[in-house]
Amino acid sequence: MNNLEQREPQTKEKKTKNVSIKEVFLFFKDFILIFWIFYLFIQFIIWPSQISWNSMDSNFYNKEYILVNKFSYLNLPYVGKIQEYKRWDVVVFDPEITKEKRYLIKRIIGLPGEEVIIKFWEVFILWKDSRASYSLKEEYLNEENFWGTYVNWSNEEFRYKVPENSYFLMWDNRKESTDARECFHSCKINNNNFIKKSQIVWKVFIDLGYFSLKEFSFLEFDSKTDSKPRFFNFPKDFSYE
């Protein structure tokens, strides 16, 4: 009896130790699985980002947080492309100019095969095999930016013929930033006004705004104007017949 009484505590201790090791193993197994699911999710589906310039004023502001996704433009086997690139899509792309500022955010204006015409502070589109151009009603631009659409500080006519599989992109803040009109700061380097389809990485689909802890409110970082989150309803989609 004495021998049995002495062995019982040792058996329980060993059993408890084995259970603890198993629980630790399962914990790390679940942790690694969750980590990889999260990594694949943000790598291929959704990626949080922050705007670091005022190039998209007055629709997207400096320091605002946005969610971008790769899913919109995926080309899936047996399914095809989820969505084609559309005019007015706000996208993040790599202009392949400098490593310091790799990604830029802009709005698609001209589609493949079209001719973008800028004159008298307005943007006109000439479709394929069309003789007459039409003026874009850029309702998302405020008055200051609308009258700031020019090239080299001139209101003369400039034409840009968009190649196949390429796009003509512009910022909403027309007066304060450069875009496809000036080859994204580097016409002297690459002399290319267009962005290839392969250079477009993400599409912006949710604007999370900017929350000021000091004011404890959603405010734009610089001007302190309203910067509340906008879920799928920021101005981007307009149809023209």
CA atoms of 241 and 223, how far apart (whole Å) = 37
CB 81 within 8 A of CB 104: no
First vs last C-alpha separation in the chain:
96
3-class DSSP state for residue 136?
Answer: coil
Tell me if the pTM is above 0.85: no
CB 110 within 8 A of CB 116: yes
CA atoms of 134 and 240, how far apart (whole Å) = 10
Mean pLDDT of the chain: 80
Query: How far is C-alpha 212 from the geometric centre of its chain's CA atoms?
Result: 22
Domain ranges of the chain: 45-231
User: Regarding the domain with residue range 45-231, which homologous superfamily does it belong to in the CATH classification?
Assistant: Umud Fragment, subunit A (2.10.109.10)
Would you mind telling me the total number of residues written for the chain in this entry?
241
Give yes or no for residue 97 having a pLDDT over 90.
no
Highest mean pLDDT (candidates 86-90, 135-139, 178-182): 86-90
Give yes or no for residue 105 having a pLDDT over 60.
yes
Strands 230-231 and 104-110, bridge-based pairing: unpaired
Which pLDDT band holds residue 4 (cuts at 50, 70, 90)? very low
Instruction: Please tell me the number of Cα atoms within 13 Å of 234 on its side-chain side.
Output: 25
Which pLDDT band holds residue 239 (cuts at 50, 70, 90)? very low
